[in-house]
Structure 1
Amino acid sequence: MSGSPEDRGGPRAWAELLRLPALFTVPGDALAGAAAVRARPGRRTLLAIGSSLCLYEAGMALNDWADRAEDAVERPHRPLPSGRIRPAAALTAACALTASGLALAARSGRPALTVAAPLAATVWAYDLALKRTPAGPAAMAAARGLDLLLGAAATTGGIRPALRPAALLAGHTLALTTVSRQETRGGSPLPALAALATTGVLARSLTRRRARPATAARPARSRTTADTLRGALAAVYAATAARPYLHAALNPSPPLTQRAVGGGIRATIPLQAALSARSGAPVTALLTAALAPSAARFARKVSVT
């Protein structure tokens, strides 16, 4: 894609810069956080989702601003190296989106802002300093985990019950980010193999029944239905992520590695849905899973990597 005059600074260029299809992977973080603390999503949860969306897009804009020299060589079609968006505009957008994200978190309460502030700091640290260091994948994983905790903190003010779901989501993100580090050059099959193994471990953890006796409020039939939903979502997660990871492990070329990254990103939604189902929130799980078709449809128009 060249920087044609009619496209410079236009919606298409900004959609590519912000990788808009990836936005569908964000609301499930806060929803899974709310489910983990056994609360129904409400106004504060919606504010947390808005904060997450802003901080996520701030990271996207900042990522391309920080990578503009590298992208000029490896991805000259991207909005900044192609001249369709000015670097100053991308940096301004990153700052404005960060401020908006923190403001929305503050509106949902002090506990949410307490989580959103380190989340924003992690996003900026990753893009500006940590991305190419050994700490890069861990920083990205921490950001995803904090995003889930943001939903929990905004909804009830507490985060302890959400720590385990946040760790599972962070594990998926750690594996995915490690694979993404070689998507333009290819290389060793080990990151894809590690991601494949991580997917299996997470899927197994999602399907393991938690020892809670049936009660009058939650009869055995209801529990069986919830377990079935959780198992189905875990299977979708595993199928979405595992196949492209396996292909990348067998042939770690840039095209297959990029497909593996795309598969891992798409798998985030069924993982979030499975986490909500695991926490006993089937409606929230189904609402989250319903985002997947839209994410896939828009990803055919604008790349998520």
Structure 2
Amino acid sequence: MGGSVGASGGGVAASDVSVGASDGSVAATAHCGDAARSGRARAWAELLRLPALFSVPGDALAGTAATGAAPNARTLLAIGSSLCLYEAGMALNDWADRDVDAVERPHRPLPSGRIRPAAALTAACALTGAGLALAARAGRPALAVAAPLAATVWAYDLGLKHTPAGPVAMGAARGLDLLLGAASTTGRPRAALPSAALLGTHTIAVTTVSRQEARGGSPLAPLAALATTALLTRVVAHRSLRHLTGRQQAAAPALPGIPAARPGRQEPGGPQPGALLTTALAAAYAATTARPYVHAALNPSPPLTQRAVGAGIRATIPLQATLASRSRGTATALLIAALAPLGARFAKKVSVT
């Protein structure tokens, strides 16, 4: 009887060991599953360059401010459309460049095998469709801007990127994105053309630098981008001449996107808070890019050039905020500016280039 009980006890112990091993196997399987899901999520975050998304909402908001209107529900639709079309361009960019990346950037999601090329292309198509659908919900004027924007994105990724027209196409896409906000909110994108031109000029400069970020190259591109930043800072810092009065306003030269002063209208002397905000935001825009551009000019190596490109992308946010403030959209400018620290924080985890 004792032996039988002992054997039974041994059987129970063996069963416990078996159960313990089973639990360990389940835990290991669950851990592997979590790791796989985390790896896939990170791969998609890298493919879509998610931190760069913080530079997108400011396009629509700056476009809205340029029309003198306040953001509304249609502005949110424009932002949603912009986000979808921007990410479609990211996915399509890596799909189109997968063979080049296999040599220059084998760690990217497609050449490393973490994401299948077919999945990236499918995502680009789905995101483009979603972007156009959201623009259509915002109205015909919005769709009339979103359609050429989507076409520009696809043309850039599939053919124009490696041609001299590439930077211009990218600048046009960013400018159209700003006009999308104006068209969605008010149906009057023409009022936002000066702001779109300034934002597009900045994008052309950054894109020109990015063309040599994989191999390095000449210091001319970062020097040209530095000069462009200085010029844009000078232009956008001149807000609306509110601080001028009477004869000073009448004699002051007209600036792009700024309504002409009304004859005889008197304004209190001294700088206004809005003008000070515009100046501060313009200074932040210049400060974001100045040092990285100088470093890339002194040593145009891939790491420093990539850092300069990342700074140029992040600088898009204070530039958008400056354009909004310059258009007398103080609250909108502050909202856009609040996106900058968020973008910088997430850029430390996932590269924007």
- Provide the secondary structure at the position in 2 that maps to 1:59: helix
In structure 1, the residue matched to 2:231 is: 201
Q: Determine whether 1:60 maps to 2:108.
A: no
CA gap of 1:37–1:218, structure 2 versus 1, over 3 A, is farther
2:318 corresponds to: 270
Q: Which has the higher contact order (CA 8 A, sep 6+)?
A: 1
Partner SS state of residue 217, structure 2 = coil
Q: Which moved more, 1:7-16 or 1:275-284?
A: 7-16
Quick check: 2:46–2:108 contact (8 Å CA) kept in 1? yes
The one-character-per-residue Cα deviations of 1:207-252 (angstroms, maximum 9, x if unpaired) are 124345779x996489610000000000000000111111111111
Quote the sequence identity (%). 74
Following superposition, the deviation at residue 161 of structure 1 comes to 1.6
Secondary structure, counterpart of 1:40 in structure 2: coil
2: CA distance, partners of 1:100 / 1:9: 26
Give the distance between the partners of 1:169 and 1:239, measured in 2 at CA.
17
Of 221, 225, 242, which aligns to 2:290? Answer: 242
Displacement of 1:10 in angstroms is: 1.6
Contact 1:172 1:199 in 2 (8 A): yes
Number of the residue aligned with 1:185 = 215
Q: Within 5 Å, which residues of 2 pair with 1:1-305? A: 6=36, 10-211=40-241, 220=268, 224-305=272-353
3-state SS, counterpart of residue 45 of structure 1: helix
Taking only aligned residues, the RMSD between alpha carbons, in angstroms, comes to: 1.9
Alpha-carbon offset, residue 8 of structure 1: 8.4
Give the conservation status (yes or no) of the 8 Å contact 2:88–2:127. yes
Whether the 8 Å contact between 1:9 and 1:85 is mirrored in structure 2 is no
Aligned length: 301
Counterpart code for 1:185: R
**Structure 2 counterpart of 1:42, which letter?**
N
| Corresponding residue of 2:16 | none
Letter in 2 for 1:249: A
Q: Which runs of 5+ in 1 are unaligned?
A: none
Contact 2:51 2:351 in 1 (8 A): yes
With normalisation by structure 2, the TM-score equals 0.82
Contact preservation (8 Å) 2:239, 2:327: no
Q: Contact between 1:20 and 1:304, CA under 8 Å: does it hold in 2?
A: yes
Match of 2:163, SS state, is coil
**Gap regions ≥5 residues in structure 2:** 1-34, 246-261
AA of the residue aligned to 2:205: A
Question: Which protein shows a greater Rg?
Answer: 2
